[in-house]
């Protein structure tokens, strides 16, 4: 009887020991799985944070680009903005955008006094202008604006400015095959000076032709 009880007690103790070991291993296994899952979730969180950071940086870059664009739009001359409005209202533009403005001053292209013939310097400047348009390969619309200084009557200056702008239009068409329906000519005469007409240098700057390129 004593041997039987001892055997039973030993068996019970052995069973408890084995059960404890199994339970401990189970807990360790489950703990390891949980830790692995936590590591995976943490990794996913870090990846998400990285993507959010990249997205924020992208938004910041877009904001900077927009600010530059707005600043560029703010730098457009009033006469260029007027050209954009005219072309938009006339349905001449595909996108209604201002691209750039090229100004040919008398100081640079040497228009003859009271004349509208294009000098060699003026033709060279227009060749460069036309080459840029051809290189960019964009369907653009150009408004050619003529200006003079304030020497002479208002009517005379308006006529002279228009003749110079028209000379530029014909040159672009005849020499560079620029379509006439994509060019507009307007005369501002002595209006909208960019320099002081009281000085010789200022008057030379005011005698100019501006080419406003739109799309």
Q: Is the pLDDT of residue 63 over 60?
A: no
pLDDT band at 209 (very low <50, low <70, confident <90, very high): very high
- Per-residue pLDDT tens over the stretch 107-153: 788 776 677 889 999 999 999 999 999 999 888 999 999 999 999 99
- What is the per-residue pLDDT for 129? 96
Question: What's the CATH code, domain 76-214?
Answer: 3.30.1330.60
CB 189 within 8 A of CB 143: no
Q: Is the pLDDT of residue 210 over 70?
A: yes
Task: Answer positive or negative: Cα dihedral of 11, 14, 19, 20.
Answer: positive
Output the pTM of the full model.
0.65
- What is the per-residue pLDDT for 66? 40
215 CB burial (10 A radius; 0-12, 13-18, 19+): middle
CB 168 within 8 A of CB 118: yes
């Amino acid at each position: 009887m004593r041997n039987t009880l001892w055997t039973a007690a030993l068996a019970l103790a052995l069973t408890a020991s084995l059960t404890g070991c199994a339970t401990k291993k189970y807990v360790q296994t489950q703990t390891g799985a949980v830790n692995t899952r936590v590591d995976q979730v943490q990794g996913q969180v870090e990846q998400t944070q990285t993507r959010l950071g990249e997205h924020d940086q992208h938004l910041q870059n877009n904001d900077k680009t927009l600010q530059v664009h707005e600043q560029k739009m703010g730098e457009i001359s009033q006469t260029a903005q007027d050209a954009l409005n005219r072309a938009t209202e006339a349905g001449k533009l595909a996108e209604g955008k201002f691209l750039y403005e090229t100004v040919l001053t008398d100081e640079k292209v040497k228009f003859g006094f009271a004349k509208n013939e294009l000098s060699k310097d003026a033709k060279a400047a227009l060749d460069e202008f036309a080459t840029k348009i051809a290189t960019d390969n964009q369907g653009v619309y150009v408004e050619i604006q003529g200006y003079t200084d304030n020497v002479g009557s208002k009517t005379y200056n308006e006529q002279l400015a228009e003749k110079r702008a028209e000379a530029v239009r014909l040159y672009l068409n005849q020499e560079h095959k620029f379509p006439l329906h994509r060019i507009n000519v307007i005369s501002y005469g002595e209006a909208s000076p960019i320099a002081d007409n009281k000085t010789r240098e200022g008057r030379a700057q005011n005698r100019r032709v501006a080419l406003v390129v739109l799309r």
